Structure 1
Amino acid sequence: MRNDYDFAVLGGGLVGAATAYGLAKLGLKVLMLDEGDVAKRASRGNFALVWVQNKGLGMPAYATWTRRSSDAWVPFARELEDTAGFAIHHRRTGGYHLALTEDELARRAAMIARLHNQPGVAPSEVEVLDGDEIRRRLPEAGPEVAGGTFCPLDGDVNSLKLFRALHEGFARLGGTYRSEAMVDVIEPGAGGFALSTQAGRFSADRIVLAAGLGNARLGAMVGMTVPVRPVRGQLIVTEKTAPFLDAPVSTVRQTDEGGVMVGDSQEEADSYDGMRQGVMAVMADRAVRMFPRLGRLNVVRTWSALRVMSPDGFPIYDESPVHPGCFVATCHSGVTLAAAHAALFAPAIAAGSPPSEFDDFSLRRFHVSAAA
């Protein structure tokens, strides 16, 4: 008996939607199963950077993967806008990280050097700049800025429009989306996978676990231990103001709509995703020291969201060792890696098992036996 779908993607956030979009582009019959608006989505709470400059220390393959996704973003954004029918406001202007002390700047420069001294990592395109050069390039930067780094590969996007465009594009490519369809049971079989959900029962030849923190629960059903944990991030958004920042900074960015976002906090968390006033105070203080004009703006929104983190902080891509055809994809860089998930990862799993280039991202790295 033939299954309902070629692929079912379990999860409708940025990772799931980008993967489902990429599979649908290949002409496959694809189902996306999603919790719906009850889900605590990192996809709706992120800082919306498409970022390269500090990614991959400790895993050269991640530096390469991030660079490949950044390079794929320009054609991906153009194609997605054409498919969905509206702009997502991606820009690759280059991006900055600012330091408020000489010690911060020295530590940042040393980290960038270590990253690019790893075997297999492309030569660095990151510039280390003093405070005067930062103020020449970013005239609104304040006198306390000691310097920073700049990478021409970095940029940002309107992540809410990206999220909507992936879903709209998926639908226009013939994909099927089911909301309020959290998967309760996965039943592997010789001919594929049966999925029992709150919205009914479905079947697919192959499946992708892309449910963020939910991958831990889903993975256990198909012989995979997926070690993910929540890390809280908080964001501040100001009222709209005249354009003053034409390139994103790692902790401050002005959106295409004029508001300014301040972010980049990281706290180990449980399932609670509330706000922490002390953390917000530190974020706001540093942002105003970087760009004093922010002190004159009203804050209109604050929120927090939960990043999906693996034990080492790097993505996980793998196939179940006991149920071939069941893949897992999880990461905390769903915006940056959206282009790679749609244009590279989706075709790779459609062709069969993940190729050797994904070996470094395998779950096997968390299950290495200690030497006797």
Structure 2
Amino acid sequence: MKPVSDPEYRRDAQSSDAIVVGAGVVGSAIAYGLARQGWRVLVLDGADGDLRAAKANFGLVWVQGKGFGQPAYQQLSRRSAALWATFAQELTADSGIEIDYRANGGIHFCVGQTQWEQRAEKLARWHEQLPGQASCTEMLDRAQLQRLFPKAQFGPEVSGASYGRMDGHVNPLRLLAALQRGLQVHGGTLRTNSPVSRIAPLAGGGFSVHVGAQRFETPRVVVAAGLGSSALGPMVGLDVPLRPQRGQLLVTERLAPILPLPASGLRQTAEGTVMIGVTQENVGYDLSTTTTAAARMSRQAGRILPALRQAQLVRHWSCLRVMTPDGCPVYAESAHYPGAWVALCHSGITLAAFHAGPLAAAVAQARIPDELQIFHHGRFNVPQTA
């Protein structure tokens, strides 16, 4: 539904139907979804040196085990994964960019029988969170795993794996490029190196968004600036507690096909490189890489696929993920300043199809669906007892 624009905004050449602050995977997906609905969207991206979660994205479209202890998050992940095939087709058609999306399932390797049993128990409890939902995972012992990958040479400690039928992977850099190209194909505008310094509510409704000396006006603004949302959100009554989590990754030289399906912590790309990761470190805003983490990730990868011990590592880097106190996404419209929205999560790849589809539609309709109310940031405002 295309908005009816106020003539006051139309007179301003710097105006738009909506401004999305942040051009990472989350912001770009929402902007792309709005542009596909006919909205005139302006996306303001930060400086090149900003803390970008997309720099260290593993590229997994992942469902198995997602939202353990959080049934609504599991349901959301399932919903988005189910939308991904159509989303990928539309995005490739719009952008002309092949994003290397594959949805043949995913593997979580288990090293040792104890780990296999613990994984089986955890997934059984995970499925119990959504009674009536069809199971989307199965446990494979080593023999079953070897039959699934007859050419793979697994380490002797590999006891098996869990297999998720809804899982898949994508090239995250191509996905981001495709979202931004698709946005522009549908008439949207992307401004890079345009860090937003201020968002101010206007007296008659709507917002002014400031980038240096420039000022843009809009009736609707979506704050999707990752960790930068901590400073911008409170300006429009959207104060969300966030913390950074460092993730380190390794990537190898190009190898012959060695891993047909993506795995948690191991993924062979379409180009043949193997991504190894990722760490989950609470070290504040420290972006350093460490030899300790590299050694641990390399050692674990070699235990699973011994052939990787001979592979040359060509890059080691890190990034900071966006984490809420409970690890679940935040979607909300400001109670004090209607038209201001926030969208935050650490699973932007898996949820990209949802963000470009149902969430963009919710923003367009100015209404959070009932099933998304659980992701409102008000859940963190719990009074402390003495």
Q: TM-score over 0.5 for the alignment?
A: yes
In structure 1, give the amino acid aligned to 2:88: A
Q: Which residue of 2 aligns with 1:360?
A: 374
- Kindly indicate whether the alpha-carbon contact (under 8 Å) linking 1:192 and 1:205 is maintained by their aligned counterparts in 2: yes
Number of aligned residue pairs: give it.
372
Unaligned runs of 5+ in 1: none
Q: Which residue of 1 aligns with 2:169?
A: 156
Q: Which residue of 1 aligns with 2:158?
A: 145
1:35 aligns with 2:35: no
Q: 2:281 aligns with which of 267, 291, 298?
A: 267
- Kindly indicate whether the alpha-carbon contact (under 8 Å) linking 2:20 and 2:224 is maintained by their aligned counterparts in 1: yes
How far does residue 371 in structure 1 lie from its aligned partner after superposition? 6.5
- Kindly indicate whether the alpha-carbon contact (under 8 Å) linking 2:42 and 2:189 is maintained by their aligned counterparts in 1: yes
Q: Which residue of 2 aligns with 1:103?
A: 114
Q: 2:304 aligns with which of 273, 279, 290?
A: 290
Q: Which residue of 2 aligns with 1:172?
A: 185
In structure 2, give the amino acid aligned to 1:253: R
User: Residues of 2 paired with 1:112 and 1:84: CA distance?
Assistant: 37
How far does residue 121 in structure 1 lie from its aligned partner after superposition? 7.0
In structure 2, give the amino acid aligned to 1:60: P
User: Residues of 2 paired with 1:251 and 1:142: CA distance?
Assistant: 16
3-state SS in 2 of match to 1:340:
helix
How far does residue 141 in structure 1 lie from its aligned partner after superposition? 2.1
1:60 aligns with 2:74: no
User: Residues of 2 paired with 1:121 and 1:6: CA distance?
Assistant: 41
User: Residues of 1 paired with 2:266 and 2:353: CA distance?
Assistant: 23
User: Residues of 2 paired with 1:354 and 1:122: CA distance?
Assistant: 24
Q: 1:318 aligns with which of 320, 329, 332?
A: 332
- Kindly indicate whether the alpha-carbon contact (under 8 Å) linking 2:51 and 2:227 is maintained by their aligned counterparts in 1: no
- Kindly indicate whether the alpha-carbon contact (under 8 Å) linking 1:87 and 1:161 is maintained by their aligned counterparts in 2: yes
CA displacement, residues 193-245 of structure 1 (integer Å, 9 cap, x when unaligned): 00111361101111101000011111111122211111011111000011121
Q: Which residue of 1 aligns with 2:251?
A: 237
Q: 1:186 aligns with which of 196, 199, 217?
A: 199
How far does residue 250 in structure 1 lie from its aligned partner after superposition? 0.8
In structure 2, give the amino acid aligned to 1:349: V
1:305 aligns with 2:312: no
User: Residues of 1 paired with 2:250 and 2:268: CA distance?
Assistant: 12
How far does residue 274 in structure 1 lie from its aligned partner after superposition? 1.2
Q: Which residue of 1 aligns with 2:239?
A: 225
Q: 1:120 to 1:174 in 2, by over 3 A?
A: farther
User: Residues of 1 paired with 2:368 and 2:342: CA distance?
Assistant: 10
CA displacement, residues 226-279 of structure 1 (integer Å, 9 cap, x when unaligned): 111110111110000111211101111100011000012100021121102111
In structure 2, give the amino acid aligned to 1:124: S
Q: 1:54 to 1:199 in 2, by over 3 A?
A: farther
- Kindly indicate whether the alpha-carbon contact (under 8 Å) linking 1:64 and 1:122 is maintained by their aligned counterparts in 2: no
How far does residue 147 in structure 1 lie from its aligned partner after superposition? 1.4
Unaligned runs of 5+ in 2: 1-7
TM, length-normalised to structure 2 = 0.94
User: Residues of 1 paired with 2:133 and 2:378: CA distance?
Assistant: 25
3-state SS in 1 of match to 2:236:
coil
User: Residues of 2 paired with 1:147 and 1:67: CA distance?
Assistant: 24
